[in-house]
Chain A
């Protein structure tokens, strides 16, 4: 009959043995393994009662003297612009730029290319959108683009700050 391994004995004493019942059954019938278990018991008992490590009596005071003069300032974690608004602004900018500067028809066309009959619909969609965008005039369009750009910058800024504000506090060294 093979004896219990050191790992099995230690795990049994730690209370982490997966096969505790089998280990106990073996121990009941094996004096050698019981002796080995007793050795570990004695060692564990000594390890549990090791002498403490001496820190000086004034340790806490010495630490207090070394503390830097810092101030913990709470950070407002609620974002001014929600993620949804940032996403919306980003998508809007992409659409606006697409409508204004790109030949959207050539981009849309392949999407509908698999059905020949959809070509006309694609062109019609593009023309309609282009017409609406043009109808806004240059000045409103520029204002619109500016607002969208600011919204995008605010969004990016917020995302960067969110990364910095990992904690609810910022530490300032005086």
Chain B
């Protein structure tokens, strides 16, 4: 926290190079939120840039009542919400029966060749993650790739911890079911 405070103070004192450090340190987290929330690939990097411009403009308002990264992720999330709202894209596609987009591969012959199974499975997992609603996949990514707690994610997404947990559990159950329909337990 002391390092973050020193970095912010440098930026507020006019040190733009310090802000570049902040960008480099947090671009991974921002990309996780934006790439999960924004489906259109050409827009993603622009949205990431917009997030950091907003971070810069609002840095004077940061009061250190949370981690700097959590605050930045929160800005990333709200920027994505605004983007989605502007584009009139669905945010909470109901998972419904939880397999409406799901085309099971029932035939053993359709299973991927074992030699390519691992990379194919990674690709399929990526595809399946992309098939669940943006909020769900963002929660999955923040939890697993950024090692964030339910509470931190709840703070970023401004939703109750219980809701975060529920969405995370539903998303993972769905992913597991979809992967197991295409791969054996051993391949997984």
Residues of A participating in the B interface, judged by any CB pair closer than 8 Å? 6-7, 10-11, 16, 35, 38-40, 42-44, 46-48, 50-53, 55-56, 59-64, 66-68, 70-72, 166-171
Contacts and interface: CB of A to CB of B under 8 A. Distances in A.
A33 B10 CA distance: 54
B49 interface: yes
B15 to A, nearest CB: 11
Contacts, number: 109
Contacts of B141: 50
Contacts of A167: 60-63
A55 B144 CA distance: 20
Given A50-B145, A60-B27, A62-B49, A169 B185 contact: no
> Does more than half of chain B's interface fall in helix, strand or loop, or is it mixed?
helix
B67 interface: no
A35 B60 contact: no
Interface of B: 11-14, 16, 19-20, 23-24, 27-28, 31-32, 35, 44-45, 48-49, 52-53, 56-57, 59-63, 121-122, 125-126, 129, 140-141, 144-145, 150, 165, 168-169, 172-173, 175-176, 179-180, 185, 188
Nearest to A64: B20
Nearest to B21: A60
B163 to A, nearest CB: 14
B179 A59 contact: no
Q: Sorted from nearest, which 7 A-B pairs have the closest CB atoms? A: A169-B60, A47-B144, A53-B35, A72-B12, A42-B188, A53-B31, A60-B23
